[in-house]
Amino acid sequence: MPSSEDVRAEPAAAPWWRSAVLYQVYPRSFADSDGDGVGDLRGITGRLDHLVDLGVDAVWLSPFYASPMVDFGYDITDHCAVDPVFGTLADVDALVAAAHARGLRVLVDVVPNHTSDRHPWFAESRSSRDSGRRDWYVWADPGPGGGPPNNWLSAFAASGPAWTLDGRTGQYYLHSYTAAQPDLNWQNAAVREAVHDVLRFWLERGVDGFRVDAAHRLVKDPTLADNPADVAHLRTALVPGGTRLRHIDQPGVHEVLREVRAVVGPDTLLLGEIGVADPTRWAAYYGSGDELVPLNPTFWSRPCTTDALRSAVDTTEAVLPPGGWPVYALGNHDLSRLATRCGSARARLAAVLLLTLRGTPLVYYGDELGMTDVPVPPEAARDPDGRDPARTPMQWDASPGAGFTTGRPWLPIPPTAGTVNVAAERADPGSLLNLYRALIRLRRRSPALRTGDYRPLPPTDPGLYAYWRQAGDQRILVALNATGRSRTVAPPGTSTGRLLLSTDPDRPLGECPDPLVLAADEAVVVESDR
């Protein structure tokens, strides 16, 4: 596919995504072309120019496959079919073609850990203990007393244990998420082959990569032994702690991921959802460049303080394998919105961080506007795990449906959409949207920001986080003041050069004041002249 001039300027050996900015679209909530209140593929195609205007290089689409929507598309009944609510396969083809025509690459979500309980594979598997597909899922006899086979928990509190009894065959099946999402058995070669076929199907349709859902959960301890008592209460591996859960992040997962890599080849981006807090175990998912590119979860659970941001980055840099390249995101469809977690001033500062780090940035739709969590009353709640507030419709303009739909939106549109929207922010030079646009353009123009190395300044002032990015003779200083008070960037002389950008729209750009004093919650980008 065509790539932008800047991307072409990179050395031929660097994969395209290293110098790219990625953007996540949650298809139900981006743009509704047919007025049913739910976003769809044609809607996304009709709004691709926003991505071009923003300056991103690739879009990741959360699932649009055939699904009963218990987990809104992460419960799939046919991995190679489009759910009618989103459109048709022809609509996918048109979207991919329209994206490629604009120089945008397309990543689709692949969900290898589980299917819907209504998937024909599971229907066959549960039909009898002798079914030819029984072993495609994880079945086990009841534990002592008739309860679940062991103490493993599902990821969702509302779903309770990770096991549900199938009354007809008298065994329990494993589900890492809701009971409507039985886990596939990746120890079974036929399962692995079936998922490989799904990857081939989408590659043949022209997609440029995949986001691999729950990749750290594919392999379970085959003995099905209990989780150790000290971690038995944990539902995910996102809580720091040394003891490994027996149904998450098992050593055998790396072998099956290497097989997946071999199927798609070295140039396809495999963005892995790796919900593992232990940094070394998380980094193991790079393999030796022959597994995934793990999405970095370090920002997701941290406050927006200087120390927390710095330690998230420095921890990542410290554990990366040789040649490993980070991919950072500040938000996604499973988390509270960035602007809600950090507040609006720090959301601006976080944008500077995300788009100036050494690593590929991934922007969650609407975060470029400062969309916040939208309260969803209990009677309107849709998600089994309470994640609706961060999944509300994209706010395009100030019209009643926010330019998202002419119908009744599937989740509420907040009154703030009157001002927090693409049209209004595009017209306001000081808006968050225009800060994102400026940052992405700056990154695109700057070899130091795009591909340069990263060197943090020693933390002399606990309120400041500053780092150098350098490529060739271009040196860029980024300084963030995530405190409520002004701070001087130290040492004097550090900031001589040109001030390229500030989160404060009123600060004059050009020659950099020395010493450079940052206002409360201000972040700046300076091109050094020495």
Active site residues: 213, 273
Burial of 130 (0-12, 13-18, 19+ CB in 10 A): exposed
Site residues (CB under 6 A) for ligand GLC? 71, 74, 111, 177, 213-214, 273, 333-334
Which of 60/177 has CB closer to ligand GLC? Answer: 177
Structure-block tokens of residue 527: 């091109």
- Rounded Cα distance between 461 and 465, Å, is 8
Structure-block tokens of residue 325: 């390249």
Amino acid in position 354: L
For residue 5, the minimal CB distance to ligand GLC (Å) is: 34
For residue 170, the minimal CB distance to ligand GLC (Å) is: 27
CB crowding 63-72: b at 16 or more within 10 Å, else e: bbbbbbbbbb
For residue 257, the minimal CB distance to ligand GLC (Å) is: 16
- Rounded Cα distance between 313 and 468, Å, is 13
For residue 385, the minimal CB distance to ligand GLC (Å) is: 7
Which of 57/273 has CB closer to ligand GLC? Answer: 273
Interaxial angle between packed helices 189-204 and 253-264, expressed in degrees from 0 to 180 and rounded to the nearest 10:
30
Which of 172/177 has CB closer to ligand GLC? Answer: 177
Give the Cα-Cα-Cα angle 270, 274, 275 (nearest 5 degrees).
155
- Rounded Cα distance between 139 and 146, Å, is 14
Which of 74/163 has CB closer to ligand GLC? Answer: 74
- Rounded Cα distance between 223 and 372, Å, is 44
Q: For residues 328 and 299, is the Cβ–Cβ distance under 8 A?
A: yes
Non-local CB neighbours of 285 within 8 Å, separated by 6+ positions? 215, 216, 254, 257, 272, 274, 276, 291, 292, 294
For residue 214, the minimal CB distance to ligand GLC (Å) is: 5
- Rounded Cα distance between 219 and 139, Å, is 14
The Cα diameter of the chain in Å comes to: 77
3 state DSSP class of 322 = coil
For residue 183, the minimal CB distance to ligand GLC (Å) is: 10
